[in-house]
């Protein structure tokens, strides 16, 4: 138990240097297996992914997701398969124009906000967190609904702390009733706050549907509307059929839990990636100059960046890949064994918690040259691993059945935000700070954001109006 503070992406990476790419820890009653090599990750995520497709759920996760009524933590099976299909085909589909439009609109607003602050220090971390929250909040609850957003952010922040909190009862179950850390009361308060907030929004959406007799203009729908199309008072129903409408019916708890997934999956992860990209480029001034010169050559300073430009922005895309290699959105991918298994010749008992260290794998010297250095040019070479999920040296979005269903929307927001911030403005560090003095430490949680917010001074770079 004295090793608990080492169960972070950095702590486990340090232990792997001593014990190898796979090692076992016994934490109370729980078997934990840490994986830090690409080949071992491939055995778990590809070769035996049917055995390793469950997600472990702590006491906090089970309670806050309404006993795994969501997609992110539901165990693998018919319910999870249909929920994933719903997310891929409905919520995150490229056909769902509203989500992609919300990214474009909110990035535009952010650029205008920065333009109004030129010459003064801007808290880039807070700026991009607000950007991603606005994108997801709008996509989930509707374009006009900004009411209660601050309250919802505080609920999310408490959930994040509870998800990441060390609860001794997860490892020694009989201590659940004792609750020596007082977490049970916090869990009850947090879920009660979420219930009150989202129940009100669901009721408003149901009322809107009834007024229009169920027929909504597609342009006016948000994620709650999309989920309510599958809502049933009778409870959960799952059939293995291709027709999604007949395959699944959702309870109110399912809808609330999926909204939580979308909020968590789409805010801090994307905001953290944008902030890390800006910080790495500001630390590596040569790469910043190359990326901005490419933008000047491809787009020109007389107009704004457009979607059609991205295919030609090779170096910018390399900087984003390098950011994701060094700072994967989810540093530790958690899986659980559905049955006894063998990995690299070792026995892994059923119910073991398997921690795949995407952060350590992205920095493995056996897979990458000079792995701890930010070198976007490495992605210009042929045969370099890509992050689509089939190269296990580079898995920022996971791989296999449990890979991130919102990857495309998240990448779109990352590209658009970083592209516009670099194209429209030049950036300097405040108070004469040198790039080498930037703090590049992170904080461990479900994500690994920067330990200190990035502060920088923008100056307008383009000659067109913003």
Q: How far is CA 197 from CA 22, 79, 98, 140, 257, in A?
A: 43, 26, 23, 13, 13
Alpha-carbon gap, residue 320 to 243, rounded angstroms: 37
E-strand stretches of 350-424: 353-357
Q: What are phi and psi of 453, to 5 degrees?
A: -65, 145
Residue pair 416/128 in contact (Cβ under 8 Å)? The answer is: no
Alpha-carbon gap, residue 152 to 35, rounded angstroms: 35
Alpha-carbon gap, residue 342 to 319, rounded angstroms: 37
Helix axes 124-141, 252-266, angle to 10 degrees: 150
Q: Are strands 237-238 and 122-123 parallel, antiparallel or unpaired?
A: unpaired
Give the DSSP H/E element, type plus range, for residue 380.
Answer: none
N- to C-terminal Cα separation, the chain: 54
Q: What are phi and psi of 85, to 5 degrees?
A: -60, -40
Of 283, 362, 287, nearest in space to 327 by CA: 362
Alpha-carbon gap, residue 7 to 4, rounded angstroms: 6
Q: What is the DSSP string of 160-213?
A: HHHHHS--GGGTSGGGTTT-TT-HHHHHHHHHHHHHHHHHHHHHHHHHHHHHTT
The answer on whether 318 is annotated among ligand-binding residues is no
Q: How far is CA 241 from CA 92, 93, 299, 457, in A?
A: 20, 19, 47, 54
Alpha-carbon gap, residue 449 to 394, rounded angstroms: 19
Residue pair 46/239 in contact (Cβ under 8 Å)? The answer is: no
Alpha-carbon gap, residue 417 to 124, rounded angstroms: 11
Q: What residues are designated binding site for heme?
A: 404
Q: What residues are designated binding site?
A: 404
């Amino acid at each position: 138990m004295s090793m608990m503070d080492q169960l972070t992406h950095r702590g486990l990476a340090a232990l792997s240097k001593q014990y190898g790419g796979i090692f076992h820890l016994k934490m109370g009653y729980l078997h934990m297996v840490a994986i830090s090599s690409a080949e071992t990750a491939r055995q778990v995520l590809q070769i035996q992914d049917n055995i390793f497709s469950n997600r472990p759920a702590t006491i906090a996760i089970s309670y806050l997701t309404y006993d795994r009524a969501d997609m992110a933590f539901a165990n693998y099976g018919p319910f999870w398969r249909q929920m994933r299909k719903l997310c891929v085909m409905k919520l995150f589909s490229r056909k769902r124009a509203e989500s992609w439009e919300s990214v474009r609109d909110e990035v535009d607003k952010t650029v205008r906000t920065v333009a109004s602050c030129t010459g003064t220090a801007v808290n880039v971390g807070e700026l991009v967190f607000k950007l991603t929250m606005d994108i997801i909040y709008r996509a989930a609850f509707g374009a006009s609904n900004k009411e209660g957003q601050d309250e919802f952010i505080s609920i999310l922040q408490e959930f994040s702390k509870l998800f990441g909190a060390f609860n001794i009862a997860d490892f020694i179950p009989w201590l659940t009733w004792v609750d020596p850390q007082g977490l049970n009361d916090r869990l009850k308060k947090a879920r009660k706050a979420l219930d009150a907030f989202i129940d009100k929004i669901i009721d408003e959406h149901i009322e809107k549907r009834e007024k229009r007799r169920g027929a909504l203009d597609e342009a006016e729908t948000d994620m709650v509307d999309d989920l309510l199309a599958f809502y049933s008072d009778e409870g959960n129903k799952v059939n293995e059929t291709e027709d999604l409408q007949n395959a699944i019916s959702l309870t109110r708890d399912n809808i609330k839990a999926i909204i939580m997934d979308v909020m968590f999956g789409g805010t801090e992860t994307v905001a953290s990636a944008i902030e890390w990209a800006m910080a790495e480029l500001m630390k590596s001034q040569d790469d910043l100059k190359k990326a901005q010169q490419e933008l000047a050559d491809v787009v020109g300073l007389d107009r704004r960046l457009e979607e059609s430009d991205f295919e030609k922005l090779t170096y910018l895309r390399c900087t984003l890949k390098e950011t994701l290699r060094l700072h994967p959105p989810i540093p530790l991918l958690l899986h659980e064994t559905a049955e006894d298994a063998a990995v690299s010749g070792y026995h892994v008992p059923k119910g073991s918690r398997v921690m795949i260290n995407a952060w350590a794998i992205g920095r493995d010297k056996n897979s990458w040259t000079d792995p701890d250095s930010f070198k976007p040019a490495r992605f210009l070479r042929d045969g370099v691993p890509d992050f689509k999920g089939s190269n296990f040296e580079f898995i920022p979005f996971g791989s296999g059945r449990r890979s991130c269903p919102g990857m495309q929307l998240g990448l779109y927001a990352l590209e658009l935000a970083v592209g516009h911030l670099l194209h429209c403005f030049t950036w300097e560090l405040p108070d004469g700070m040198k790039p080498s003095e930037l703090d590049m430490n992170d904080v461990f949680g479900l994500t690994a954001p920067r330990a200190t917010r990035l502060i920088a001074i923008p100056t307008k770079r383009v000659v067109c109006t913003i």
